[in-house]
A and B are shown apart, each in its own frame.
Chain A
């Protein structure tokens, strides 16, 4: 089989699993899970440095940004203004141009505010950012994001951290058919079979945080997700059999005694 490369904003990746770095018990658990997952991209958040207690471990000491690409996000931002400020700061930390935009509008369910998200995508694209956009699974809004220059469309499968799996398969299928940039399922994956499903539907990648971080054994779940994404991808690429509503024996009748 020829190599199956994921291309996001002209960067090439072998792994189609993107992993979040939040919610782990500690940095060691986080770095172990990421290593086993084989992810080449991890999402990170921008926050104030603790100026009174510098004994706390730094993310960069555990996950080397030279080996794994940091994808700065705008977690916790509820306005376009906050999201833009956060990503401009992220770029300043290390020159990152590929970023994940997430502008929330609903404190309870963490659904994105699509109007603010679209506005931010337009501004960031003009400023030279390559924007991977967390969004609703609404095909019209996703098309608008793509037209505004989004480098990837990242619809939710279900609310962030819910672990409910893909709720609206029809919309994800429609999105698969219409989306020219990478389509990445973000949020709502709960177990390996959800990741398989996303990949079998032809999604280009999945982004997983809570399902790994909140498993009893995060490292084992990280490995399960790695295999799930590979398995689902191969299943998609192999071109599955046609479904039938009658049985079809696997063994020939010829030579039957």
Chain B
């Protein structure tokens, strides 16, 4: 596969390699993430979950996907 068509992104601190023109929506589907139960940050900015399919990832993008866990 041509390396030029790939980009490297960091998701929750882990480096992932994905295709060019990969959208945030594609990413969440790939990670099997339940969209209604998470919040997403792209380079420290909160992403509007309605626009996930319109946001395309770039090389070195940093994505944080968070959810609720038990806490006091």
A72 at the interface (CB under 8 A from B): yes
Note all chain B residues with C-beta closer than 8 A to A50. Answer: 12
- Contact count band on A: 35 or more
- Majority DSSP secondary structure for residues of A touching B: mixed
B66 to A47, Cβ gap below 8 A? yes
A201 at the interface (CB under 8 A from B): no
The smallest C-beta distance from A221 to any residue of chain B, in angstroms, reads 15
Q: Mark B28-72, 1 if CB is under 8 A from A, else 0.
A: 000111101111110010100100000000000000111111111
A93 at the interface (CB under 8 A from B): yes
B39 to A44, Cβ gap below 8 A? no
B72 to A73, Cβ gap below 8 A? yes
CB closest residue in chain A, given B37: A60
A59 to B68, Cβ gap below 8 A? yes
Which of A20, A44, A88, A210 makes the CB contact (< 8 A) with B68? A44
B46 to A88, Cβ gap below 8 A? yes
Note all chain A residues with C-beta closer than 8 A to B69. Answer: 21, 44-47, 59
Q: Which of A190-225 contact B (CB under 8 A)?
A: 207, 209-210
CB closest residue in chain B, given A213: B72
Give Cα A73 to B70, complex, Å: 10
The smallest C-beta distance from B70 to any residue of chain A, in angstroms, reads 4
B72 to A23, Cβ gap below 8 A? yes
Give Cα A165 to B46, complex, Å: 39
B65 to A51, Cβ gap below 8 A? yes
Q: Which of A41-69 contact B (CB under 8 A)?
A: 43-52, 54, 58-60
Q: Mark A1-40, 1 if CB is under 8 A from B, else 0.
A: 0000000000000000000111110010010000000000
A160 at the interface (CB under 8 A from B): yes
B11 at the interface (CB under 8 A from A): yes
A93 to B71, Cβ gap below 8 A? no
A89/B46 contact (C-beta < 8 A), A48-B13, A54-B32 known? yes
Which of B31, B34, B37, B49 makes the CB contact (< 8 A) with A51? B31
B14 at the interface (CB under 8 A from A): yes
Note all chain B residues with C-beta closer than 8 A to A43. Answer: 71-72
B39 to A92, Cβ gap below 8 A? yes
The smallest C-beta distance from A109 to any residue of chain B, in angstroms, reads 15
Give Cα A38 to B6, complex, Å: 52
Which of A44, A49, A60 makes the CB contact (< 8 A) with B71? A44
Give Cα A24 to B36, complex, Å: 25
B12 to A21, Cβ gap below 8 A? no
Note all chain B residues with C-beta closer than 8 A to A21. Answer: 69-72
B72 to A51, Cβ gap below 8 A? no
B65 to A22, Cβ gap below 8 A? no
Which of B14, B46, B68, B72 makes the CB contact (< 8 A) with A70? B68
A51 to B11, Cβ gap below 8 A? yes
Give Cα A30 to B46, complex, Å: 30
What are 9 A-B pairs at a CB distance below 8 A?
Answer: A20-B70, A44-B70, A48-B12, A49-B12, A49-B31, A58-B67, A59-B68, A92-B39, A161-B72
